[in-house]
Structure 1
Amino acid sequence: FRRLIPENRKIQKNSTSYFYCLNEVIVKQAFLLKIMANELKSILATEADEHSHTYKDGEEVVLWMNTVGPYHNLQETYPYFSLPFCRGSKLAIAHYHETISDNLLGVDLEFSGLDIKFRVDVPKTAYCTLTLLNEEVDAFHHAIRNHYWFQMYIDDLPLWGIVGEYRNDENSGESMKLFTHRLFEIGYNGNTIVEVNLTSNNRIDLKPDVAFDLTYEVMWKPSTVRFHDRFDKYLDANFFKHRIHWFSLFNSFMMVIFLVTVVTFILMRTLRKDYARYEKDLKMDDFDRDFGDEYGWKQIHGDVFRSPSFPMLFSCLIGSGIHVFVLVIVVILITFWGELYLERGSILTATIFCYALFSPVSGYVGGCIYTHFGGKRWIKQALCCGSFLPLLVATAATIGNISALYQSSTRSIPFGTMASIVAIYALVVLPLTLIGSVVGRNMSGRPNNPCRVNAVPRPIPEKKIYLQPWLIIIGGGLLPFGSIFIEVYFIFTSFWAYKVYYVYGFMFLVTILLAAVTMCMTIVCTYVLLNSEDYRWRWTSFLSGASISLYLYLYSIYYFIYKTRRHFTLSILACAIGYVATANFMEIVRKPTLDYYSLIVLTNQSIVAYCKRFVANFSSDYTFPFSFFKDLQQTCSLQPQNVWNVLFLAVVLTGLRFMFVRFICRPLAKYWRLTAEISGKLPESLWNLTMYLFLWLNTCWTLVRTDRWKYFTDPLSIWSDFSRDRLIPYEVDVVYLTQTAFYMHATYGTIFMEQWRKDSKVMVFHHLLAITLLSFSWAARYDQVGILVLFLHDVSDVFLECAKIFKYLKFRDNTHYSFCEFLSNASFIFRLYWFPLKVLYTSFYGSVFLGPDDLPFIPVFNFMLWLLFFINIYWFHFILMLIYNLATGKFKELEDSRELENCNSEKHD
């Protein structure tokens, strides 16, 4: 840093100016950040050990002894040589130089003293002789009775072995034997180690003052495992990638889409009615207005933007929440792409580095919010933002550290590691937080509330019991917890059992789903509170989203008691610390999006009356049919990678649509000199026309390519070719992939990117139904029926989008009206004639009389097809209305009948 400063601008060391102090702080921060960056760079590399992971024949291979502890308590560990084992005779480095993350994780590597050389077999050899005292025999007996296991490392690959064998028979009584021989089987591929296995045998009874030998043996064998894949044996794919994991994720995803759609529709629909009533009142005379009609959230518009109590604490929580949310997202993505779970302590190292790097985020957001609330003590607030989470973690770590020191456990944190963490906090985290707070305070500006806050707070009326804030807070976490319940089970299992959690793609998706669910629940809870004329919404919305931690804590207690066999204080403390970390993660996921979104919603008065009826009519007697997933698990053919491909392609389509509108549609609208209103509608139709035409041509090509055109001419032949064991052709998989991704993108586009029309709610329902039908027919191998549905529907959409484009371009000649007539005929032929004749008849009649007896979920499939048919009837009546209006002269030019509701309301106003 000093080399970057010109010589004539250097500040002398004897200067006490503010700029010199700031320069010293920046230099120290840059030094520490450089150290952490180098450490993070090293763990992201393939070769992450102090060695190169490559050996020459006869080169030394180090065996490190780590920890020992009870098998049923993974979190209770002690140094390996705390038991009276002995070392080998080989002299080498006595102790491994652990990193900060190793010390925090309780890693305590010590050299074994065993002589192991690359590709050199070692016969059975005694490396030491033990003569135990009574106390040492008791220590071994305690370890064997509690099923103690030990851990070793060879070339960063872990090995586990059991100390001894314990039996307790009624006839022979209690028997405890110690394993004295260890067989190491090491697999190599070229000049790298790719496999390690440990076998313990030669059991002996332990007696005081009786000498016995500890022996070892090394066998080298070639292996075909690649170096990059050597860690795969430790990853339990059968557990983490079980089909129920995929289906639970899909179920949560569909639930989130439905919930977001419902809440968005509720807000837009009811808010429009409220504003229509208020606009009508404004146009009336004072004596004609009915002031008694105002109720609910409208009554408290002068108090809803009042600053909350304890604004400093509130801003610190929001700032810290966004900080850790960014941290969680970045660490998950780094771990997913960099496979950090393959290297010991890499995830924790990346977490510490990223937390320090993103410290300005906490100060910036907290400073903006605190200034918006009119706070003056910004330095104290900045210190609070920078110290809140570190002090919380330090408190939990101190309690656990005291317990670990009392038990002489490896979970205790060394003094040097604590000093390093404190230095990172004092020299990096805290200064960066202060800088972010200063920037946020200066960039926040003045509060820009849409209305003035009343000088005197309005009295809060009495509410019914189910509208009390504490009950709203408790209920706000139920649905979010249900959306992540399955993933929490997998995380707890990896924490308490000998499993490596590596499905961070699942964790990322669950994080996004949790944010969406919590956002929707916060909006509903906030509306319920404001509609009861209680303006204290900020803390209630915050705590309603954070209440998921209550259910997580209760579930962690249940899991600890009923799913594990844990004991002693250290385990309970470990469970508590794990809960604090998990609860913070869940709260932080909600804070930045949900509270801020709720603030935007409330600022624009997007609190709707329908939610009140929703809460009043909600019934808790419904039970979800979990047997559905059990049956679906047995019959599904949908591959897991296809789900990822669909999600990725849906995001790509959204980006392509943005570029299509920006670089093609807008220049065309400007060239054709269209009005602003038409310029906003034309891109939607051009994009849909392009996509529907591409999808329909792709479906036609697939029908010809896979010889499935015969199903259109002879639909009943589908069931003669149907088999649950057949493979779906690759071309059909491509059709389903593109169609599903398009409808996922179309759902998002209808809600957030297109103008809301009379049938928009039906359009959203249609897209969700299409996604469900595509996924269902793809998974249950009903693709022969599904591809006919796609063929009949996409061609009608092509004609419909062409008609809309003609209307926007104001083509009013006879060809225009002839095309309108052709559109009605095409929609009728494809959707109302051929669809029931070719699809419904085949799916209903053919499945009953011609299909196999064990067709999975065929009634559900037929029900969804009938729903799609009714939607087609609903849309066809718009076309008939359009033709009727043209024939009767109601419209002189072609209008989209779906916009009649908006037109009529504007004329009425």
Structure 2
Amino acid sequence: MLQTVSEWLWWDRLWLPANVSWSHLKDNEGRIYAKASHLYAILPCALCLLLIRYLFERYLARPLANVWGVRDRIRLSAEPNLILEKYFCHQSRRPSQADVRSLCKKTGWPERRVEVWFRRRRNQERPGLQKRFCEASWRCAFYFSAFFGGVLALYDKPWVYNLREVWAGFPQQTMLPSQYWYYLLEMGFYLSLLLSLTFDVKRKDFKEQVVHHIATLTLLTFSWISNYIRIGTLVMAVHDSSDILLEGAKVLNYAKWHKTANSMFVVFTILFLATRLGIFPFWLIHCTWVYPVELYAPFFGYYFFNVMLVVLLMLHVYWAFLILRMLNKCLFGKLEGDDRSDEEEDDSDTMKEQNHKLCHINGSGARDRANGH
């Protein structure tokens, strides 16, 4: 049974054009081709990147956050209450008004007190500002390194300047060492993001991020095995270019360099729209959709690869909407952070108590002055 599954999985027609088989992609005469076995190194690479990230955040990002005055807000802890804690952990973090009234009867607390308890308890679950700063710093550093590493690996390649060269001699295209390391680091990074999703800052587009990471890893895996490496490296470089500015803008915004962060975000928006909604669909997808059929008949891999690219494009359209909404806040309001993040809630009762105390102090002072004290 396993042999049958293996033969079906590695059936030539799934991965390669007609009249091409795996025997044509065996190493010979100094020519080395990409193989599925090379991908075993991705998991160790992802684990190494997680370790590097931990060291980077602890010994570089966190000290930098302290120097720039990036500190977590002081939070009030929720009062110990087993009934509310059980409801929070096992039923809902945001109870309906009917559930609030039911909890009031069980605890003997007024509605306002129960609502404040849930706000404070939710805030306890949210990551602090320093964690956001460290995460953005790590991503900015990686995207910067990956992009310029990709530029060094690609700048002298003919297919960068003439996309028809992407398919010259396909699929018998020799794998270059620079392509191997570029792929390994990128796939290791996206796998590390999947492994750390539960620990990272949770955003409103959490599900979209999961889809994006899985689609990216699937796309890169397929492109590696099918020897779509040339177009794969171009896709990675185009995606990394704008991400540097996004994460850099978040780092500066957390450090309260708002004007610089806003300027960088405007540049990021322009670059994002140009690369993700311009170059990506009209150059790269066009390259994978039109040029290959001039050389060979479409096969399963051709359709699969293009469908995965379209999935990424749909995610780009969704994120473009969020980015333009953030740009509107940036230009006509105040950009407080990543619009996708689960923001901390203000404790209105605390503010009311502080204002009440302030009014009481001011009122007492006025009465004392009136009495001659």
TM bin, normalised by shorter chain, reads: 0.5 to 0.7
- Residue number in structure 2 paired with 1:595: none
Distance in 1 of aligned mates of 2:152 and 2:336: 34
- Aligned to 2:53, what secondary structure does the other structure show? helix
Structure 2 CA distance for partners of 1:822 and 1:743, relative to 1, 3 Å: same
Distance in 1 of aligned mates of 2:347 and 2:207: 20
1:897 aligns with 2:339: yes
In the TM superposition, what whole-angstrom CA distance separates every residue of 1:216-251 from its partner, at most 9, and x where no partner exists? xxxxxxxxxxxxxxxxxxxxxxxxxx9x79x97xxx
Write the letter of the residue equivalent to 1:896: D
- Asked if structure 1 preserves the Cα contact closer than 8 Å seen for 2:65 and 2:255, the reply is no
Structure 2 CA distance for partners of 1:855 and 1:722, relative to 1, 3 Å: farther
Q: Give how far 1:723 is off.
A: 2.1
1:639 aligns with 2:35: yes
- Residue number in structure 2 paired with 1:817: 262
Gaps of 5+ in 2: 16-20, 26-32, 73-127, 349-373
Structure 2 CA distance for partners of 1:658 and 1:831, relative to 1, 3 Å: same
Structure 2 CA distance for partners of 1:715 and 1:678, relative to 1, 3 Å: same
- Residue number in structure 2 paired with 1:765: 211
Q: Give how far 1:645 is off.
A: 1.7
- Aligned to 1:852, what secondary structure does the other structure show? coil
- Residue number in structure 2 paired with 1:860: 304
1:630 aligns with 2:78: no
- Residue number in structure 2 paired with 1:832: 277
- Asked if structure 1 preserves the Cα contact closer than 8 Å seen for 2:262 and 2:335, the reply is no
Please show how residues 734-753 of structure 1 align to structure 2 within 5 Å.
Answer: 734-749=181-196, 751-753=197-199
Distance in 2 of aligned mates of 1:770 and 1:904: 34
- Residue number in structure 1 paired with 2:244: 798
Q: Which is bigger in relative contact order (C-alpha 8 A, separation at least 6)? A: 2
Q: Give 1:787's match in structure 2, choosing from 230, 233, 240.
A: 233
- Asked if structure 2 preserves the Cα contact closer than 8 Å seen for 1:780 and 1:856, the reply is no
- Asked if structure 2 preserves the Cα contact closer than 8 Å seen for 1:712 and 1:838, the reply is no
Structure 2 CA distance for partners of 1:762 and 1:667, relative to 1, 3 Å: same
Q: Give 2:165's match in structure 1, choosing from 714, 717, 729.
A: 717
- Asked if structure 2 preserves the Cα contact closer than 8 Å seen for 1:759 and 1:898, the reply is yes
1:669 aligns with 2:82: no
- Asked if structure 1 preserves the Cα contact closer than 8 Å seen for 2:212 and 2:312, the reply is yes
Structure 2 CA distance for partners of 1:886 and 1:640, relative to 1, 3 Å: closer
Distance in 1 of aligned mates of 2:300 and 2:175: 16
Q: Of the two, which has the highest radius of gyration?
A: 1
- Residue number in structure 1 paired with 2:178: 731
Write the letter of the residue equivalent to 2:222: F
In the TM superposition, what whole-angstrom CA distance separates every residue of 1:852-884 from its partner, at most 9, and x where no partner exists? 236561000000001111111111111101111
Structure 2 CA distance for partners of 1:868 and 1:722, relative to 1, 3 Å: farther
Please show how residues 224-235 of structure 1 align to structure 2 within 5 Å.
Answer: none
- Residue number in structure 2 paired with 1:478: none
Structure 2 CA distance for partners of 1:699 and 1:858, relative to 1, 3 Å: same
- Asked if structure 2 preserves the Cα contact closer than 8 Å seen for 1:820 and 1:883, the reply is yes
- Residue number in structure 2 paired with 1:577: none
Q: Give how far 1:897 is off.
A: 1.2
Q: Give 2:202's match in structure 1, choosing from 734, 750, 756.
A: 756
Distance in 2 of aligned mates of 1:731 and 1:862: 25
In the TM superposition, what whole-angstrom CA distance separates every residue of 1:659-714 from its partner, at most 9, and x where no partner exists? 1122222222223332222111111111111111111111111112xx42x32332
In the TM superposition, what whole-angstrom CA distance separates every residue of 1:710-758 from its partner, at most 9, and x where no partner exists? 3233213322x13223321121111111111111111112x23211111
What's the % identity of the aligned pairs? 26
Write the letter of the residue equivalent to 2:297: D
Higher helix share: 2
In the TM superposition, what whole-angstrom CA distance separates every residue of 1:435-462 from its partner, at most 9, and x where no partner exists? xxxxxxxxxxxxxxxxxxxxxxxxxxxx
Q: Give how far 1:651 is off.
A: 1.1
- Residue number in structure 2 paired with 1:297: none
Write the letter of the residue equivalent to 1:758: K
Please show how residues 294-443 of structure 1 align to structure 2 within 5 Å.
Answer: none
- Residue number in structure 2 paired with 1:654: 50
What is the total number of aligned residue pairs between the two structures?
277
User: TM-score of the superposition, structure 1-length normalised?
Assistant: 0.29
Write the letter of the residue equivalent to 2:328: Y
Write the letter of the residue equivalent to 2:175: I
- Calculate the aligned-residue CA RMSD, in Å: 2.6
- Aligned to 2:258, what secondary structure does the other structure show? coil
- Residue number in structure 2 paired with 1:594: none
- Residue number in structure 2 paired with 1:869: 313
Distance in 2 of aligned mates of 1:823 and 1:805: 14
1:691 aligns with 2:139: no
- Asked if structure 1 preserves the Cα contact closer than 8 Å seen for 2:245 and 2:268, the reply is yes
Structure 2 CA distance for partners of 1:732 and 1:639, relative to 1, 3 Å: same
Write the letter of the residue equivalent to 2:318: Y
Write the letter of the residue equivalent to 2:338: D
Q: Give how far 1:650 is off.
A: 1.1
Q: Give how far 1:905 is off.
A: 10
